[in-house]
Structure 1
Amino acid sequence: MRLDKYLSTYADLTRSQAKRALHAGEVTCNGEPIRNPGFKVSADDHISLDGMPLDPAGERYLMLHKAEQTVCSHVDDGHMSIFSLMEITRPDKLHVAGRLDADTTGLVLITDDGQWSHAITSPKRACQKRYRVWLAEALTEQACLQLQQGVMLHGEEHPTRPAVVEKVAESECLLTISEGKYHQVKRMMAAVGNKVVALHREQIGAIELDEELEPGEWRYLTPEEVASVEKRS
């Protein structure tokens, strides 16, 4: 593919804008400035625009350490969008596979592959999610037993699926669920007479939050992490 067409496709530039960027020396191929619009880009080439790598063709898979008071949408509705924190091309093509509330932190998976995200969010797939939960009061053994058996949430017709509960401290636990109901963890704790004061997602399926990522930071998933989510049902 010609470099000017590559820039038009993957940087959303017009041909004239692409040529101006090339003339200004803002485009590099494998670290070397390229000014020729007709330069042929191969599959192995790494193209950057003004220091920002351009994504090659194909689906993208990322993890982000969501910070508190950010939202998993493309609209800043009083809180900052997680996508505004990401220096990445075509962020509008990406979506979140399993959103978190504004006040919840932790692992968010982001992609433009609809089948892949569906394998995570579809109720039929029962993808497990592990949360670290801090509570207003001590978690009793009776409450743990109720959560492990399934609890009835307000407004629901059926109880939740059995959860895995691991107490970390008197008012802190690890909770693993295989559903994604609205505000589910908070509603589950309310159902056993407690209240969530802080919530952090640590794992989705086999993918764990990278401990080296600070809140607001992201990275591409490894091929092994991507492959851990089986797209076919």
Structure 2
Amino acid sequence: MDRLQKVIAQAGIASRRKAEQLIEEGKVKVNGKIVTELGTKVSASDKVEVEGIPVERERKVYYLFYKPRGVISAVEDDKGRKVVTDYFPFVEERIFPIGRLDYDTSGLMILTNDGEFANLLAHPRYKIEKTYVARVNGIPQRHLLKRLAAGVELEDGKTAPAKVKELSVDKKKGRALIEITIHEGRNRQVRRMFEAIGFQVQKLKRERFAFLHTKGLNAGDYRELTAHEVKQLRTLAETGSLR
């Protein structure tokens, strides 16, 4: 169920404020009856009309996408570079990515046309965890990884505590694979965190988004989230657990 003014605004008929004005002026009908109460909620099956014109409503869609490297996390790019929505040529809904991944970072993203859902998952206060695997140039000592986990000072403030685990070390090539889980979404955050302890990230991949993972997907692939997964993500954002 969505508020009537939100449905009108999402359909592109008017701004939220203008939609409220249209409702109060008696210019909106729900199932053939004039509605003037702003708190009115409608379902997908309700017929909404504004000044006699039916409101076309998009169904809400949710996709899990494995972003390849070299792709912009946007719906368009003024430099003509490939963007994430280029991988959805047959999706009619106006989808957009929740948050972003750097141009050179691969891994999981969610795309949707549900703005409320996107805000739930993207806002740092909801603490949705994202897990990355970083290949770093050099082998960080344990005390440096502990420092990373405790939070490091960046130019835009100290990072929140993270979960950090060494996955493997290649002494011959002088590099390591480190898993790091964060819930913030600052620009180039993981790369900057490693730079703060003196290490350069050579390759970065987001392996998990909350409980979702890359298994079964190759770079450039996507799948629609199940209704149960969407519900779980909402619950996780709103309560901090899957219950």
How high is the TM-score relative to the length of structure 2? 0.68
1:195 Cα offset (Å): 0.6
> Structure 1: which amino acid aligns with 2:83?
S
Structure 2 Cα separation of the partners of residues 140 and 90 of structure 1:
49
- Counterpart of 1:216 in structure 2 is 220
Q: How does 1:41-120 map to 2 (within 5 A)?
A: 57-76=58-77, 77-90=79-92, 93-120=94-121
Unmatched segments (≥5 aa) in structure 2: 1-44, 46-56, 170-175
Among the aligned pairs, what percent are the same residue?
Answer: 27
Deviations 1:1-34 (A, max 9, x none): xxxxxxxxxxxxxxxxxxxxxxxxxxxxxxxxxx
Counterpart Cα distance in 1 of 2:180 and 2:233: 21
1:162 aligns with 2:161: yes
Q: Deviations over 1:27-81 (max 9, x none)?
A: xxxxxxxxxxxxxxxx9xxxxxxxxxxxx94210001111110111122434211
* Alpha-carbon distance in structure 2 between the residues aligned to 1:57 and 1:150: 42
How far, CA to CA, are the matches of 2:60 and 2:96 in structure 1? Answer: 12
Task: Tell me what 1:194 maps to.
Answer: 199
Residue 85 of structure 1 deviates from its aligned partner by 1.9
Cα displacement string for residues 122-174 of structure 1 (whole angstroms, at most 9, x for unaligned residues): 12111110001110111211111101111101x22x31111101111121111
**Match of 1:84, SS?**
helix
1:185 paired residue among 159, 168, 190: 190
Match runs of 1:28-47 below 5 Å: none
Deviation at 1:109, TM superposition (A): 0.5
Task: Flag as ranges the 4+ runs of structure 1 deviating above 6 A.
Answer: none
Matched, 1:140 2:145: no
Q: What is the TM-score with the length of structure 1 in the denominator?
A: 0.70
> How many residues end up aligned between the 2 structures?
175
TM-aligned CA deviation for residue 107 of structure 1: 0.4
- Report the secondary structure of 2:158's partner residue: coil
Instruction: Give the superposed CA RMSD.
Output: 1.8
Could you tell me which residue of structure 1 aligns to residue 124 of structure 2?
A: 123
